[in-house]
Amino acid sequence: MSVLVGKKLKEKLKAPPDQRLYVTPILEDDQIKQSGIDLRLGNQFIVFRNAVLEALNPAMESRDVLLQVLRYQERVVIPFLKGSRFVLHPGQLVIGSTFEYVALPQNLEARIDSRSSFARLGLTVAGAISIAPGFKGVITLELTNHGSTPIVLYPGWPIAQLVVSETIGKAPYQSRKYLYPVGPQFSRLYEDESLRMWARPASQDIALNVKGMTCEHCVNTVKKAVSDLKGVKNVKVDLESGTVSCRLTGECATRDDVARAIAAAGYDVVHG
């Protein structure tokens, strides 16, 4: 593959529709550099609400991973008004996107390069390692402040550069996760089939038969032993039937963990 530069890059911006590189809007002629095209920062951001989850666990049922993501992240829109800004704090990661909409023909691929001037302030701008031929949409950007001082970002600022290369042959766009984005998109890791082998239900109600419980003291002992396990809720101990029931949230404890906790408390779990 060869990087498009100078005259060749400008020719691709004016090529016939099926071969054209679309980058729109280009607000100033000097956005087109010798070896790339300057891209501006959009006005939508996905921020992380760190306080709402103890941990984000991708190895869960797809629906429950989606619910975690929606609790963990939220979209923020900064208006395109003079003085409107977004403050990126030290150590903070946000998901943004380009202001420009980009469409690649099937014989071009691209990458995003961070601006050196921002990198020297501690700001890292990362995008997809490779933007595949046939892609259409705004480009998602991961913005991280690695410095020790908050950095103010303004929508519309030149934030990165699009570097375009010509491929050998043509390839249709294959992604099914992120089609035609018009802003930053929430993670769709829950659609990844390769994670299914690690997934387990996010919540599961279980019941175990237990021998040796004879009084309320036994009930309280067993209940405390099970309740102390991480990821266990709604513990109920029925002395008359000799059963212990609870809900496993899927975050940590398993059925075997519950059985071991009961055994460690001095009571026998009846298997079978």
Q: Please identify every residue annotated as catalytic.
A: 142
48 DSSP β-pair partners: 73
Query: What are the structure tokens assigned to 62, written together?
Result: 């797809």
Q: Which residue, chain included where needed, has tokens 């980058």?
A: 23
4 DSSP β-pair partners: none
Query: What are the structure tokens assigned to 158, written together?
Result: 């030149």
How many whole angstroms separate alpha carbon 267 and alpha carbon 47? 48
Q: 3-class SS at 270?
A: strand
The CA-atom distances, in angstroms, between 263 and each of 111, 229, 241 are: 57, 13, 18
Please answer whether residues 70 and 47 qualify as being in contact, where contact means their C-beta atoms are separated by less than 8 angstroms. Answer: no
How many whole angstroms separate alpha carbon 132 and alpha carbon 142? 18
Q: Any residues with CB less than 8 A from the CB of 230 and at least 6 apart, and which?
A: 251, 252, 253
With left for phi above 0 and alpha for psi between -120 and 50, is residue 109 left, alpha or beta? beta
Please answer whether residues 142 and 129 qualify as being in contact, where contact means their C-beta atoms are separated by less than 8 angstroms. Answer: no
The CA-atom distances, in angstroms, between 116 and each of 90, 122, 154, 195 are: 18, 10, 17, 36
